[in-house]
Amino acid sequence: MIKTFEIARLTNPLHLQFMDYVVTLVSDKNPTTLNVKPQHDLLTLKVTELKDLYKSVQGSPISEQIIEADALRDQIFTGVVKVVEANTYHYDEHVRVVANLLKNNIRVYGNNIARNDFQTETAKIESLVNDWRTKPELINAMTMLEMINWISELENANNEFKRLYALRTDEYSQKSDETMQGKRIEANAAYNELCKYLNSFSVINSSNPAYEVVISGINAYVDQYSTLLKQRRSRTKVVE
């Protein structure tokens, strides 16, 4: 059975992303074979309409600045990882020890932070910077490796990305929030209908492995986006 989650709480970009993933996943397994072509066609139509609304914002000059800001913070984070990694091979044992402290902290958030979605990457960088600025052993390690400027530049780049992303989100909501909300409701209804048919046919045709693949795939997305919602709610509580 396909899991449910608070889909209405997703931001507009994440909502569109989730719906697009589902459309692609079902399309790859042949909606006709799965007996859900009418339902898939309707969801595809609604996702296309959502994309058309979203394009007006993507055409904004801010979008290009966001891409550049994201590339810059990715570059700086990669530099931080490589500097730390290089020092784990230092000839001085004390340097190797503190470098490994920083390396282990980076592992907590993942060496491939840049592959996360925008919001998750922003949150992880904030947490990493906070660790290096507040935990005595990491402060000492960062100082010993002369990485204070690196972490300052990473923080600045991340803050600039957040600023630009917030500007575009505000621009986006002002332009089409009412229309987008209406289209989201329509897309949600189409998604729920598709899920209902997939669930039903997966029982009727339990011997067809394609249903299990599709349902497992959708559930994986549901888990991923549910986690994002929890992280967002947790950060909001901290701010409050």
Q: What is the mean pLDDT of residues 146-158?
A: 96
Residue 117 has pLDDT above 60, yes or no: yes
Residue 172 has pLDDT above 70, yes or no: no
Rounded alpha-carbon distances, angstroms, from residue 151 to 40, 96, 148, 215, 218? 47, 19, 5, 42, 38
pLDDT, position 237: 37
pLDDT one-digit tens code per residue, 55-109: 765 566 788 899 999 999 999 999 999 999 999 999 999 999 999 999 999 999 9
Q: What is the reported pTM?
A: 0.53
| Mean of pLDDT over the chain | 89
Q: What is the mean pLDDT of residues 42-52?
A: 91
Share of the chain above pLDDT 90, in %: 66
Residue 170 has pLDDT above 90, yes or no: no
Q: What is the mean pLDDT of residues 6-11?
A: 88
pLDDT, position 56: 63
Rg of the chain in Å (alpha carbons): 22
Rounded alpha-carbon distances, angstroms, from residue 19 to 94, 189, 191, 201? 50, 12, 8, 21
Torsional sign, CA 28, 33, 38, 39: negative
* pLDDT tier for residue 239 given thresholds of 50, 70 and 90: very low
Residue 115 has pLDDT above 90, yes or no: no
pLDDT, position 240: 33
The Cα 158–Cα 163 span in angstroms is: 9
